[in-house]
Amino acid sequence: MAHLLMVESWVGAMSRLLPRAIREGGHEFTLLTRDLHHYLRSAPEGTAHPLLGARHVLTADTNDLDTLLPYVERLHPALGFDGVITSCDYYLPTAAKIAGRLGLPGPAPEAVENACRKDATRQLLAAAGLPGPRFAVCADRSEAADAAAGIGYPLVLKPVDLCAGMFVRRVDDEAELTRAYRALDAFPVNARGQRRAPVVLLEELLHGPEVSVETATFDGRTEVIGVTDKSVGGAPAFIETGHMFPAALPAADAEAAGETARQAIGALGLDGVVAHTEIKLTPGGPRLIEVNPRPAGNRITELVRHVTGVDIAAAAVDLALGQRPDLHIRDTGLHSAAIGFLVPDAVGVLAGTDGADLVRSAPDVLEVRLAEPGTTVKAAGSNNEYLGHVMAGDAEGTGARRRVESLLSELRPRVVNR
């Protein structure tokens, strides 16, 4: 039995999937957090959050490395950590630095830092000659306006250190650029109390299907687990409305996407990680969007597990312990699995969701999760405002997405004014 130090967590699926993977692997963990209630608030009433299954729950300022690293060093002889892990993008560099400080397995902290900063990723991949959009890193609005004129509209404005599509916006002219920049300026601190970097990334708008490549890298070798497709809506935002695994792609396109992800992971110097690499399949070939050195979110890991039997959360645990992960494909009886999200377009309070019982009892359904009545609803601007999801499988082929879209059409959220 190994003992992992978990440094914070995502509030969503991974806050449940990662503790499950640790437990099923025969291990245990200690949770290190600055605010336990950040997670407990998300647990359904009357249930215990899986993070409470930790051997210890310790409180420390996880945003202050100067005090955190010596604190963990003092804990280590008493508690005996075998690895360090997190699922939260905002603490991936912290986890890597703690592992390095304690002499435990883990990726190079600098590589993780560069992967978690979209500007650094873009610069390093461009220097390595890997395909991507034309881009500029801008320190202020004036610089952004000049850069936009050089790249040419339409383009995409991105914060360099936020997640879940927050404040990522398509802009078609200078007026839209100014509005997007001002909205981002009004959000100087992220949800974890960390100050946002005061620069933005401008990128050429790429055209073509978007996919993600799910990988695991061990001893310098990256193995592609598979390719997931994405549907995106909510313009001018980029909101993920659904995914299917495996992506319904020609074999050559899937192989090209996988090879592009391998090259990007190598160029960043990442090792000992699972990664979720987002790619656009443009008419000119694959173009890199970003490399995330952690398991995919939005329950993509569960799509993969339903189809292949590969548990990416368990692979992340193995890698954190310096062990080769089990990536053997198994026959699960499903050829594809898909998820679709209920994306709100109204403002108010959720009174209920009509059609829920019908969808829950429908054939091929793997999961249905819906927001509780009383939930505050706002028009979605990122992947953080979903009102639920439906997951379904197809035992014959790649029809899971169509099945999910049909099921979603049966759900009708009732949103009332406050």
Which of the four pLDDT bands, split at 50, 70 and 90, describes residue 37? confident
Q: What is the pLDDT of residues 324-347, one digit of tens each?
A: 999 999 999 999 999 999 999 889
pLDDT at 39: 84
Q: Give the separation between CA 37 and CA 33, rounded to whole angstroms.
A: 10
Domain ranges in the chain with CATH number 3.40.50.20 = 3-104
What is the model's pLDDT at position 252?
96
Closest by CA to 287, choosing from 168, 126, 89, is 126
DSSP string, 229-244: EEEEESTTB-EEEEEE
Q: What is the CA radius of gyration of the chain?
A: 21
Q: What is the CATH number of domain 133-204?
A: 3.30.1490.20
pLDDT in tens, 176-227: 999 999 999 999 999 899 999 989 999 999 999 999 999 999 999 999 999 9
Average pLDDT score over residue span 280-303: 96
The pLDDT value given to residue 43: 65
For 57, counting Cβ atoms within 10 Å of its Cβ (0-12 exposed, 13-18 middle, 19+ buried), the class is middle
pLDDT tens by residue, 235-276? 898 999 999 999 999 999 999 999 999 999 999 999 999 999
pLDDT, one tens digit per residue, over 113-140 is 999 999 999 999 999 999 999 999 999 9
For 335-418, CATH number out of 3.40.718.10, 3.40.980.10, 3.30.470.20, 1.20.1080.10 equals 3.30.470.20
Mean pLDDT of the chain: 94
Closest by Cα among 135, 72, 131, 134 to 99: 72
| Average pLDDT of the segment spanning 152-166 | 94
Into which CATH architecture does domain 3-104 fall? 3-Layer(aba) Sandwich (3.40)
pTM: 0.95
| pLDDT confidence bin for 46, thresholds 50/70/90 | low
Domain with CATH 3.30.470.20 in the chain: 207-332, 335-418
Per-residue confidence at 41, pLDDT binned at 50, 70, 90?
confident
Give me the long-range contacts of 371-378 (CB less than 8 A, separation at least 24).
371/342, 372/44, 374/349, 374/350, 375/349, 375/350, 376/349, 376/350, 377/344, 377/346, 377/347, 377/348, 377/349, 377/350, 377/413, 377/415, 378/344, 378/347
Q: What is the pLDDT of residues 303-323, one digit of tens each?
A: 999 999 999 999 999 999 999
The owner of tokens 């209630």 is 37
How is residue 380 annotated by DSSP? Answer: -
pLDDT on residue 281: 97
Q: pLDDT tens across 357-392, in order?
A: 999 999 999 999 999 999 999 888 888 889 999 999
If DSSP codes are grouped into helix, strand and coil, which group holds residue 82?
Answer: coil
Q: What is the pLDDT of residues 48-86, one digit of tens each?
A: 788 989 999 999 999 999 999 999 999 999 999 999 999
For residue 112, pLDDT beyond 80: yes
φ, ψ for residue 261, nearest 5 deg: -65, -45
Under the banding of pLDDT at 50, 70 and 90, the label for residue 353 is very high
* Helix or strand run (H / E) with residue 217: strand 210-218
Residue 4 has pLDDT above 90, yes or no: yes
β-pairing, 28-33 with 56-59?
parallel
207-332 maps to which CATH number? 3.30.470.20
> Mind listing the pLDDT tens digit for each residue in 148-157?
999 999 999 9
The pLDDT confidence band at residue 417, using thresholds 50, 70 and 90, is confident
Domain with CATH 3.30.1490.20 in the chain: 133-204
Q: Does residue 418 carry a pLDDT above 80?
A: no
Check residue 208 and report its DSSP letter.
S
